[in-house]
Structure 1
Amino acid sequence: MSHNPISWLKSKLSKKEDKEPKQEEQPTKQNQEKVEKVEQVEEVEKAEEQQEVREEEKKIVVRTGPITPELVLDEDEHGSVQGGTFIHSQKSEDACITVNPIITTGVVRCEFVFDLKQGKMFIVGIADYRLNFTRERSFWDDDNKNLNIRYINYSGVLNHIAGAVSGNTIYKSGQKIAVEVNMGAVPRTCHFFVDEIEQPIHVINIPQYIRFWSFIAGQNSYFTITRFERLENSSAHGVEGSKAVEYGKVWEDD
């Protein structure tokens, strides 16, 4: 019997189509093997990279111990500096004092003791390292109020931007007022202590680079930094009524 040319052609095409999927499967398998090899290489490289990071972290040693404070005045005529002590002049003018060095790493505590001869207000806190106080621009003026945190003695409130939150104790002359930052925490934190007692209201997400600062206005009044050091661990462990407020936002009482 002779072959039908059309049937024969269809048969050949059908066989060719049957083979084509098999030809496509082979490259797909090869590609999969390549992908797996690439992923394996990437995993090895990632593991090596992480190991390098860990080794570098081991080399980074944050030294603990005392830090020598450098008090920076907004105006020389507002007073004088003697080591870690600022003595206000006989002029009744606002004096804002920042404390060097700039803090970038670790847990650092700065403790103040005030002796207020006149007036009623003094302040401790932290400020963005870029903030510079001048006679024309005090802690509340222009954008300065957005770049610092203020713990006010006679009210106990914390101020930031144009907001305020209460809950911390008032403090007065002769007491030890400490500000402690933890630059290694996530998020970065700022806690306050009065005579070693942790205060409930603290601040989170503080700037990456900060300086401690203070405000004093009374004639012949003064303050001394009695403790300025880098600690191994944070002194803050949480107290009853603890509440976090966030830097960069307007605060208000609940």
Structure 2
Amino acid sequence: MARKDLGIHSTSSLQDIDIDGQTFTHISGNSNEAVVLFDPAIQSGIVRMDYLNAGGLVTVGVCEDRVRFVRNEGPDAKAQATIVQYNQGGALQHIGDAILGNYDYINKNDRVSLELNMDAEPHTLTFFKNDEEQPIYVTKIPAGVRFWAHVIEDGASFKIL
């Protein structure tokens, strides 16, 4: 399974984020939505992204590689066909209503992972909580996507593992 070197996409909404190595913390003293969008765009292979919820991680997912976020814009602002969301309560959303059935990751130190299979047809996205595969996965992933993570509250934090 290939894990590509990650960078932060230049259009991420980083005004409210402090970055310390692989740890990302909302620092602005407000409740602005902040989405960190990661490079590179993934177009082939099997790639896994692992997050540690250090407290307050709201949503993780993938989005089409053309999607951009601005300050105080959350993932709900984007067209559902361009984004896949796995929220802290365990709900998934992509092209339609939210689907319940995966475990939540609301506790500090919960690990949440996303595994893209861009070699499968159709492309798939599988979810894990603390290394346990979740029952609901998503198909029809766009041809090129980026991973992202979303925090809102001051002090909310996550780490890339």
CA distance in 2, matches of 1:105, 1:74: 23
The residue aligned with 1:126 is 62
CA distance in 2, matches of 1:121, 1:81: 15
Pairing of 1:67-106 with structure 2 (within 5 A): 67-72=4-9, 74-89=12-27, 90-106=29-45
Instruction: Note if contact 2:25-2:156 (Cα within 8 Å) is conserved in structure 1.
Output: yes
* Unpaired runs of at least 5, structure 1: 1-63, 227-254
Structure 1 residue 71: Cα displacement: 2.5
* Counterpart secondary structure, 2:71: coil
Instruction: Note if contact 1:138-1:144 (Cα within 8 Å) is conserved in structure 2.
Output: no
Which of these two proteins has the greater Rg computed from alpha carbons?
Answer: 1
Q: How many residues align?
A: 158
The residue aligned with 2:105 is 171
CA distance in 2, matches of 1:189, 1:164: 17
CA distance in 2, matches of 1:81, 1:144: 28
The residue aligned with 1:159 is 93
Structure 1 residue 99: Cα displacement: 1.0
Greater strand fraction, Structure 1 or Structure 2: 2
Instruction: Note if contact 2:33-2:151 (Cα within 8 Å) is conserved in structure 1.
Output: yes
Q: Deviations over 1:33-66 (max 9, x none)?
A: xxxxxxxxxxxxxxxxxxxxxxxxxxxxxxx554
* Unpaired runs of at least 5, structure 2: none
* Counterpart secondary structure, 1:87: strand
Distance 1:139 1:70, change over 3 A: same
CA distance in 1, matches of 2:137, 2:82: 16
Distance 1:66 1:204, change over 3 A: closer
Amino acid paired to 1:194? K
Distance 1:97 1:144, change over 3 A: farther
Amino acid paired to 2:67? L
Distance 1:121 1:110, change over 3 A: closer
The residue aligned with 2:52 is 113
Distance 1:133 1:177, change over 3 A: same
Sequence identity of aligned pairs in percent?
A: 28
Greater helix fraction, Structure 1 or Structure 2: 1
